[in-house]
Homo-oligomer: A and B are copies of this chain.
Amino acid sequence: MPPPLLAAARGRPKAEPRLRKPAESATEAPPSPPAEAAQAEAAQAPEPPQSRVRPHVPVHADAVSRLSGEDALIHRAFAPLASHEGAFGLTDDAAAIAVPPSHEVVATTDTLVAGVHFFPDDPPEAIARKALRVNLSDLAAKAADPLGFLLSIALPEGIRPEWLDAFARGLADDSKKYRIPLFGGDTVRTTGPMVISITALGTAKPGEVVRRAGAQPGDWVMVTGTIGDAALGLMLRKHLGLKALNRLGTRDKAHLTDRYLLPQPRLRLAAALRLHATAAMDISDGLAGDLAKLCAVSGVGARIETALLPLSPAAAAAIETDPRLLERVVSGGDDYEILMTVPSDDLDAFVSAATRAGVAVTAIGEITAGPGLPVLYGPDGPMKLKQMSFSHF
């Protein structure tokens, strides 16, 4: 015999629970018109009802971690990254995040798949950092400041706890470095390769977000950092065996593969972009193709002089040995540098501001009247690229 339910043992009123009939169907019923009685009741209500939401109480995280393997995993590996109060220690269904006054939210999402966007045997710390940084790079390109991120990870069978701990460690490092706390996430199983999906949230004042659409004929085309390293690093990582790459010294090779593994989101450029850029985006699929996208939405064309491209010593040495690598440099992915357009009158001020922010910027061409595909001038005239950029489709 079940004990009496809801006995008034602690002096509570003996009111019977008002049991509702379950809905006839599972579909949500359309809102019923308020019953007359309910309307009358509402009209007579002596005072506005008070919210019953209670203030913050400490979370019994240890108790949660006993409930299931998934909860234990989240608690051990990821809860330490959820330093934002509104993340509720990852013990709730959602995070509650205050946005600074007079700011809007900037939201972006990017997904990495093992065997497609990274090698399954890459260091787990680097995989985690890359997954976060490719999103931070999008925030940087829009001149937004990081607010927080959500992580969804589909794990194949056989992932060891040590792997996950290292993954979480890498994520924690960058979460701290870029001051972007974890707001929440989801951890699921897959029978296929690992899939890591991150949504990053940032903030900017209304109208401050620098868009792709905004480039004007006559603007300078500029890029941060160096171009093409990651594409060459990927070739090295794949052991494609090109002599020009294999001849490089150990330090140069390490530089290129490191650039493939670990993007450098240019978040410090935000203020300079807001003030001076007419358009910006991050270069994830390759300079040529991404510039083509920027031109398309801006309704303009562009002329690029590849002799002006900022190259690392390693990339410059490789191209000098084998000029065919230039095509890979301009169309290969994973640069995660910022491509932006700056009016001529703003050039000096923009370069000064970028320099003060510690980010190298280089003018590589100009925006032309359009619309049209960008033209890249190489040592032998306009380049004929086999493809503008990487595409999975």
Contacts and interface: CB of A to CB of B under 8 A. Distances in A.
B202 A359 contact: no
Nearest to A337: B26
Given A5-B365, A105-B201, A211-B88, A22 B225 contact: yes
Interface centre among A71, A150, A192, A225, by most chain B C-beta atoms within 10 angstroms, is A192
Interface string A94-105: 111111000011
Contacts of A115: 191
A95 B106 contact: yes
A305 interface: yes
Contact of A105 (B18, B51, B105, B210): B105
Interface residues of A, number: 181
Interface centre among A98, A112, A342, A393, by most chain B C-beta atoms within 10 angstroms, is A393
Contacts of A262: 26
Contacts of A332: none
A281 interface: yes
A366 to B, nearest CB: 5
A249 interface: no
B189 A192 contact: no
Interface in A191-247: 191-193, 195, 197, 199, 201-202, 204, 206-214, 216-218, 220, 225-226, 229
B355 A38 contact: yes
A41 interface: yes
Contacts of A212: 88, 91-93
A107 to B, nearest CB: 5
Nearest to A335: B26
A122 interface: no
Contacts of A97: 104-107
A116 B297 contact: no
Contact of A213 (B15, B68, B88, B218): B88
B218 A10 contact: yes
A305 B5 contact: yes
A57 interface: yes
Given A52-B276, A189-B116, A282 B63 contact: no
A108 interface: yes
A216 to B, nearest CB: 8
B116 A54 contact: no
Contacts of A29: 358-360
A209 B53 contact: yes
Interface stretch (A166-174, A179-187, A318-326): A179-187
A165 interface: no
A206 B99 CA distance: 10
Contact of A49 (B116, B188, B190, B349): B349
A277 interface: yes
13 contacts: A17-B220, A22-B311, A22-B312, A25-B255, A26-B312, A52-B275, A61-B297, A68-B391, A70-B393, A94-B209, A95-B107, A113-B154, A189-B393
| 8 closest Cβ pairs, A-B complex | A192-B192, A69-B393, A17-B363, A22-B310, A2-B377, A63-B296, A68-B391, A94-B108
